[in-house]
Structure 1
Amino acid sequence: MILVTGGLGFIGSHTVRALVDMGEDCVLVQRRKAEPPAFLADAPVAVEQADITDLAQLREVGARHGITGIVHLAGSMPWPPGSDQPVEAARKAIGGLLNVVQAAQEWGVARVGVASTIGVYAGLTDDGPLSEDMPLPMTAPHTIPTFKKIGELINGHLADATGVDVVDYRISGIWGPRDPHGPLFFAAPELVRAAARGTVPDLTPLGSVYAEDSLDLCYVKDAARAIALLQLADRLGHRTYNVASGRATTNAEVVAAIKTVVPDARIELPSGGPVRQSHLDTARIRQDTGYVPAYDTERAAADYIAWLRAGNEH
């Protein structure tokens, strides 16, 4: 049975679906009480309410279930930023990660997968593919990549010290059904939602947005399947993997994909953005797991719009 922290969240719920589709039973651990989404209604999953920053609660979950693997997608960072107790918030964030690895060691779990982010590459000037072996800057522009970098270093130490296979997922530009963020990080989710609603997209949280802006966008169902493949692989040759589409997608491409489904979508983006494009190199995950994205931009936009038009909020 695979324990998925944050298993009722955006990426977590889709990862559970992917694991179930590959024949695994799952136990979903969530700090807040919640019900599984409808697409997990028929799945062999157990739902446990537990706070991973409380080791005793985590151990109780393991006492009730035979845990064979862990996918750690709950945020091991102070969130939201700006806590009035920053030291305690940082202690809890790092403590949650330590608890997960400690529980894995106690339960005899062979592999723990931990969510990292494309943000760890921030500051690199390379145009084109960003590979896992590239040296990273010691600085980070935001709380998320800061703590993901810290986590990756801790994970490497703990993997050596405990013998647990701790694997980092550098996840990029995830969009699709159940995305709670909207235009918090990039434009694609709001562009799709506005088209489905028949409204003009509100991109003000992003500041200036241009047609040429690009990112390695990875549809959530592809990312979930990639994570499941990494968790279930008999053997992995590395401790860090890019989870991405392996290509840069511009806002203009997203708009064009949306308009194949909603021709009269009220989406117009100005030109004038940077032409530099970088993306994550996915050669490593392809070689070690056979992962190939199933959703190109057009198929992803159509799937997401269909989800929203079926009455789902996001």
Structure 2
Amino acid sequence: MILVTGGLGFIGSHTVRALLDLGEDCVVVQRRTTELPAVLAGAQVAVERADIADREALLAIGDRHRITGIVHLAGSYPWPAVPGTAVEATRQAVGGLLNVVQAAQDWGVRRLGVASTIGVYFGGADGGGPHAGGPLREDARLSPTAPVSIPTFKKVGEMLGGFLADATGLDIVNYRISGTWGPLGHPDPFFAAPALVHAAARGTAPDLSHLVEPAFAEDGLDLNYVKDTGRAIALLQLADRLNHRTYNVGSGRATTNAQLIEAIRKAVPGAGIDLPAGGGAHHLVLDISRLREDTGYRAEYDTERAAADYVAWLRAGHAR
């Protein structure tokens, strides 16, 4: 049985769905809600309401279920940063990660996977990173800092996980997840895809006020549909043998806003979701060779299929 922290959330629920489809039983840990999202409707999933920062509550789950692997997708970073709370929030985030590692060790799990982000490459990366103009490889030397806090904290988490893997002998694997969009997703501050799809499905102009920078038609990013992201994580968890500690999880290609808008308009002809020309800053694209070679992963959703699927989901009455 695979335990998934944050297993009722955006990427978590799709990962659970993929694990179930591959024949695995799952138990999910969620801090607040225990209601199954629509993507898991009717699924046989054990749900445990617990805060991973509560070590005793987390470890007690192992008394009720035989856990063989852990996928750690809960929001284990101090965000949003509220003035005066940073120290305590960081303590909670680091403590949660340590508790999950403790549980993995106590339960003798086969593999512990931990969510990281494409953002760890922000700030520059040698060996095929933004400065070289090529796909971002896991063996690139990373800058120790980033323009925003989440990627910086994720780098710390990767280093801590590496130390703990060496010290405990646990198989701890990092997932560097690309820009992910699809059912259950929230508006993302770094790319426009979710907001554009929601606007097209509603027949309104897109509200892009949440973006940290203005969006332009030629802006692009490695975008992966959430169903593919979840399946990639499931394959990494279940692989008989992995040859690396860190894996990029993405599409392996750049999708520009112009390409996205074209795909959305095939599902919603005439959608008023234009963006101004311009942009075209270096597109962050993940090299997913490791993922393909070690799991056989292939994306099932291109941009057009993903847009049509997401629009259909929203028009079926789902809020996200």
Check 1:108–1:183 CA distance in 2 against 1; reply closer, same or farther (3 A cut): closer
Contact 2:117 2:151 in 1 (8 A): yes
Of residues 201, 225, 230, the one that matches 2:231 is 225
Match of 1:166 in 2: 172
**Partner SS state of residue 90, structure 1:** helix
Partner of 1:2: 2
Residue 38 of structure 2 aligns with an amino acid whose one-letter code is A
Deviation track 1:40-79 (CA, whole Å, cap 9, x = no partner) reads 1322210000010111000111111000000000011112
- Partner in structure 2 of residue 306 of structure 1: 312
Aligned pair partner of 2:263 in 257, 263, 266: 257
Taking the TM superposition and a 5 Å limit, the aligned residue runs for 1:53-64 are 53-64=53-64
Q: Secondary structure at the match of 2:7?
A: coil
Task: Return the alpha-carbon distance in structure 1 between the equivalents of residues 203 and 134 of structure 2.
Answer: 35
**Which region of structure 1 is more displaced relative to structure 2, 233-242 or 263-272?**
263-272
* SS of the residue 2:135 aligns to: strand
In structure 2, the gaps of 5 or more residues are 125-130
Out of 109-118 and 135-144, give the one that drifted further: 135-144
Distance in 2 of aligned mates of 1:49 and 1:75: 15
Structure 2: distance between partners of 1:227 and 1:83: 34
Instruction: Indicate which of 242, 245, 252 corresponds to 1:239.
Output: 245
Q: CA deviation at 1:126?
A: 3.1
Shift of 1:83: 4.7
What's the C-alpha RMSD, in Å, of the aligned pairs? 1.0
Task: Give the Cα separation in 2 of the matches to 1:96 and 1:239.
Answer: 20
**Do the aligned residues in 2 keep the contact of 1:195 with 1:267 (CA within 8 Å)?**
yes
Alignment-mate amino acid for residue 69 of structure 1: G
Superposed structure 1 runs of 4+ greater than 4 Å apart: none
- Give the 5 Å matches for 1:93-112: 93-112=93-112
Q: Is the partner of 1:205 in helix, strand or coil?
A: coil
Partner of 1:27: 27
TM-score, normalized by length of structure 1?
0.98
> 2:219 maps to which residue?
213
In 2, the alpha carbon distance for the partners of 1:184 and 1:272 equals 19
Partner of 1:156: helix, strand, or coil? helix
Contact 1:69 1:110 in 2 (8 A): yes
Identity of aligned residues (%): 67
Q: Which one of 145, 153, 157 corresponds to residue 151 of structure 2?
A: 145
CA change 1:74–1:183 in 2 (3 A) is closer
- Distance, in Å, in 2 between the alignment partners of 1:119 and 1:220 is 17
- For residues 118 and 160 of structure 1, the distance between their equivalents in structure 2, rounded to whole angstroms, comes to 24
CA distance in 1, matches of 2:299, 2:288: 10
Query: Do the aligned partners of 1:183 and 1:203 also contact (CA within 8 Å) in 2?
Result: no
- What is the identity, as a one-letter code, of the residue corresponding to 2:176? R
Q: Which moved more, 1:252-261 or 1:271-280?
A: 271-280
* Equivalent residues of 1:83, 1:89 under 8 A apart: no
Paired residue type of 2:232: A
Provide the rounded CA distance (Å) in 2 between the counterparts of 1:160 and 1:184. Answer: 35
Counterpart in the other structure of 2:288: 282
CA distance in 1, matches of 2:304, 2:134: 22
Q: Which amino acid aligns with 2:254?
A: A
Q: Hey, what's the Cα distance between the residues in 1 that align with 2:191 and 2:281?
A: 16
Q: Answer whether contact 2:34 2:48 (CA < 8 A) is retained.
A: no
2:114 alignment partner, SS class: strand
Distance 1:183 1:149 in 2: 20
The aligned runs of 1:118-133 (5 Å cut-off) are 118-124=118-124, 125-133=131-139
CA contact (8 A) 2:264 2:304 kept: yes
1:76-95 counterparts in 2 under 5 A? 76-95=76-95
For residues 128-154 of structure 1, the C-alpha deviation after alignment (integer angstroms, 9 at most, x for no partner) is 200000000011222211111010001
Whether the aligned pair in 1 keeps the contact of 2:116 and 2:154 (CA below 8 Å) is yes
Structure 2 counterpart SS, 1:146: helix
> Which deviates more from structure 2 when the two are superposed, residues 47-56 or residues 30-39?
30-39
Show the counterpart of 2:127.
Answer: none
Equivalence for 1:191: 196
| Aligned-pair CA distance for 1:264 | 1.1
What letter corresponds to residue 202 of structure 1 in structure 2? D
